[in-house]
Amino acid sequence: MRMSLITDQITRVALLGAATLTLGAAGCGSDDDADGGGQPAAGGGEPLEVVATTMQLQDFARQVGGEQVNVSGILGADNEPHEYEPTPSDAEALAAADVVLENGANLDDWLEDLLANAGGDAQRVTAAEGIELLPTEEEGFPGDPHIWHDPEAAKQMVDNIAAGLSAADPENAETYERNATAYKQDLDEMATQIRETFEPIPPQERKLITTHDAFGYFVRAYDLEQVGTVLPTVTTESEPSGQQVQQLVREIREQEVEAIFTEEAVDPSLERQIAEEAGAEVSSSLYADVLGGPDSGAETFIAAELANAQAMVTAWQGS
């Protein structure tokens, strides 16, 4: 919150062309007044206040919104979306937001109660809108919510965000459209680069075992094989039964899987135990539901996806 307020102030002062900035001159009081009405920032040159749940959405919003938006995130690098418990400061951010971005498909369904409590009149954008979900047997889910791992779905998410920002701030619609087009090109290049990264590995050797069932779209997009998951679900909430663990160990041995991947933001102890039992390696962490924190080298969506592909290839080639 504090950082975003300061960024907001810096942007505003820069727009006014002021030569100097002191914190005293850019006090929080004036900012609160400016945001007090909760009105969209159309026309005033003030950035739109955008609150986004997941880190993927936060990055997409920054790419599409550029300098016209001030993005605050709810989830950080240590927050699993499936298990997140909202805080009072989340409600404050939502109450002051012009636009709220959610993944949808029940990934961030806790937003519903949070919005009801926070009030405010933000434009709500569901990034999953119009995306055909992979089926899941998980109860309570309309389909697999990890849509961003499919580059085509990621582009649709970007379009949905651009449309939402434009609806809240029609004066800058052309800018949002232009930024979205440029970023979608970057996403195409990312997908090409990931396919090239996988090229030396024959498809039958691209065997993936991950913590939870988060890579269904990635597996489909890049021609991999998901042999199994340590947690038997699309969420990170449930523990596998002893029987499920034994089944997985058998499968790892039978299919000669060499590496089990852990995930950022999830405790890897169960992966270690299963790897040991099955005689496989535990490989480096993947960015499943979060992006990397500061100085990780995976702070953006594109960097995180490239890091995932590289981690997989490194593990597969190491065998």
134 binds Zn ion (CB under 5 A): no
Contact 50, 96 (CB under 8 A): no
Site for Zn ion in 280-299 (CB under 5 A): 289
Amino acid (one-letter) located at 17: G
Contact 125, 161 (CB under 8 A): yes
Total interface residues for Zn ion by CB under 5 A: 2
- Comparing CB distances to Zn ion, the nearer of 96 and 214 is 214
Cβ neighbors of 19 (< 8 A, separation 6 or more) are: none
- Look up residue 258 and give its DSSP letter: -
Site for Zn ion in 33-92 (CB under 5 A): none
Site for Zn ion in 214-233 (CB under 5 A): 214
108 binds Zn ion (CB under 5 A): no
- Comparing CB distances to Zn ion, the nearer of 142 and 203 is 142
Query: Taking the complex as a whole, how short is the minimal distance between the CB of residue 7 and Zn ion, in angstroms?
Result: 29
- Comparing CB distances to Zn ion, the nearer of 52 and 165 is 52
Produce one character per residue of 58-71: b if its CB has 16 or more CB atoms within 10 Å, e if not: bbbbbbbbbebbbb
144 binds Zn ion (CB under 5 A): no
- Comparing CB distances to Zn ion, the nearer of 159 and 289 is 289
Query: Taking the complex as a whole, how short is the minimal distance between the CB of residue 126 and Zn ion, in angstroms?
Result: 17
Residue 285 CB neighbour total at 10 angstroms: 20
Contact 134, 217 (CB under 8 A): yes
Query: Taking the complex as a whole, how short is the minimal distance between the CB of residue 221 and Zn ion, in angstroms?
Result: 17
Query: Taking the complex as a whole, how short is the minimal distance between the CB of residue 213 and Zn ion, in angstroms?
Result: 8
| Residue corresponding to tokens 């959610």 | 102
CA angle (131 as vertex; 130, 136 as ends), nearest 5 = 130
Q: Which residues contact Zn ion by CB under 5 A?
A: 214, 289
